[in-house]
């Protein structure tokens, strides 16, 4: 019998955490699932750990790639899934035991619902915080990524990741899925997954994450142009932050140009605004506040 749910885990040098991630899948109260661990050329013990787990539980499948890249790994996983429902999981995170069962029960009972999501707990060495996405309107998803990668169980579909993007790539993927169908997403405040924030994952690199949020917003702006006052205000603010990142030397000239090209005249306006002392000071303070955080929250 084919599995009903496919869980896709990209892995790159994840020997410290990948077993925890996979076991959190195998320990689900819902058992009709497969775990596709897609390795991006790890040079540590990741593949051996996955292979050992696959010998014990045939639901675990190792897919070996030679090309590093999370977007490509997720696409390969999506192309090999056998389940009719999909769950993404990062190799350093974990699912809580009832997440899959609750989602499958809801989706099978509500044919019009495309995705079912839960709250996410972020764990750092200073404690934890809970994040529950706001799906009350479509605009929010266009402003920033409201869905952590582990949030949703959703129906299998032909949408794939942009392989050229390696940070905040899931935001663009969610926009592709839900830009016209946020009503197809049902959220529960129950906590379904745990994100472990350490110095070894990308969320700890706040400067890079902020830059890519600006870049991805630009790509979304170009692909899906919408005249909206909230989005206009958001885009001017992002251009101010881009100029602040350049001012502090957190990005290169080529990175600046790559992001700015998607905003055209708005960046010209932002560059003028940034010369005004009070605006420059407020923008720099905001950017510094983001960069000083232990983890990027978007």
Helix H segments across the chain?
A: 18-26, 46-56, 70-80, 99-109, 138-143, 169-178, 206-223, 229-247, 253-260, 265-274, 277-291
pLDDT for the residue numbered 197: 85
Q: How confident is the model at residue 295 (pLDDT cuts 50, 70, 90)?
A: low
Q: How confident is the model at residue 134 (pLDDT cuts 50, 70, 90)?
A: confident
DSSP state of 159: -
Burial class (CB in 10 A: 0-12, 13-18, 19+), 249: exposed
Pairing of strands 85-88, 152-155: antiparallel
Is the predicted pLDDT of residue 204 greater than 60, yes or no? Answer: no
User: Can you give the pTM of this predicted structure?
Assistant: 0.92
Q: Do residues 216 and 165 lie in contact, with contact meaning Cβ atoms separated by under 8 Å?
A: yes
Q: What is the pLDDT of residues 76-103, one digit of tens each?
A: 999 999 999 999 999 999 999 999 999 9
pLDDT for the residue numbered 39: 96
Is the predicted pLDDT of residue 124 greater than 90, yes or no? Answer: no
Q: What is the pLDDT of residues 7-20, one digit of tens each?
A: 999 999 999 999 99
pLDDT for the residue numbered 297: 54
Q: Do residues 70 and 41 lie in contact, with contact meaning Cβ atoms separated by under 8 Å?
A: no
CA distance 252 to 50: 38
Burial class (CB in 10 A: 0-12, 13-18, 19+), 2: exposed
The alpha carbon dihedral of 265, 271, 276, 277 has a sign of: positive
Is the predicted pLDDT of residue 203 greater than 60, yes or no? Answer: no
CA distance 10 to 158: 19
Q: Do residues 7 and 94 lie in contact, with contact meaning Cβ atoms separated by under 8 Å?
A: no
Q: Do residues 257 and 173 lie in contact, with contact meaning Cβ atoms separated by under 8 Å?
A: no
Q: Do residues 14 and 37 lie in contact, with contact meaning Cβ atoms separated by under 8 Å?
A: no
Mean pLDDT, rounded, for 257-282: 95
């Amino acid at each position: 019998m084919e599995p009903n749910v496919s869980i896709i885990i990209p892995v790159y040098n994840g020997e410290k955490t990948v077993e925890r991630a996979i076991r959190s899948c195998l320990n689900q109260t819902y058992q009709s699932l497969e775990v596709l661990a897609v390795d991006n050329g790890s040079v540590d013990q990741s593949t051996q750990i996955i292979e050992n787990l696959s010998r014990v539980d045939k639901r675990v499948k190792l897919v070996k790639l030679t090309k590093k890249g999370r977007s490509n790994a997720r696409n390969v996983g999506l192309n090999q899934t056998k389940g009719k429902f999909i769950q993404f999981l990062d190799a350093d995170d974990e699912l809580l035991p009832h997440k899959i069962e609750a989602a499958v029960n809801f989706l099978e009972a509500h044919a019009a619902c495309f995705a079912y999501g839960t709250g996410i707990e972020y764990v750092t060495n200073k404690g934890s915080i809970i994040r529950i996405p706001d799906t009350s309107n479509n605009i929010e998803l266009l402003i920033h990524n409201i869905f952590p990668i582990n949030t949703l169980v959703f129906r299998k579909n032909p949408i794939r990741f942009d392989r050229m993007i390696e940070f905040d790539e899931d935001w663009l993927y969610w926009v592709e899925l839900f830009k016209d169908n946020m009503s197809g997403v049902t959220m529960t405040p129950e906590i379904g997954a745990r994100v472990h924030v350490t110095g070894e994952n990308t969320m700890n690199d706040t400067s890079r994450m902020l830059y890519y949020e600006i870049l991805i917003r630009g790509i979304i702006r170009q692909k899906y142009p919408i005249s909206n006052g909230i989005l206009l205000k958001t885009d001017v603010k992002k251009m101010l932050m881009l100029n602040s990142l350049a001012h502090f030397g957190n990005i290169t000239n080529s990175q600046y140009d790559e992001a700015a090209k998607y905003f055209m005249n708005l960046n010209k306006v932002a560059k003028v605004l940034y010369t005004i002392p009070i605006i420059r000071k407020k923008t720099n303070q905001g950017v510094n506040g983001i960069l000083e955080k232990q983890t990027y929250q978007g």
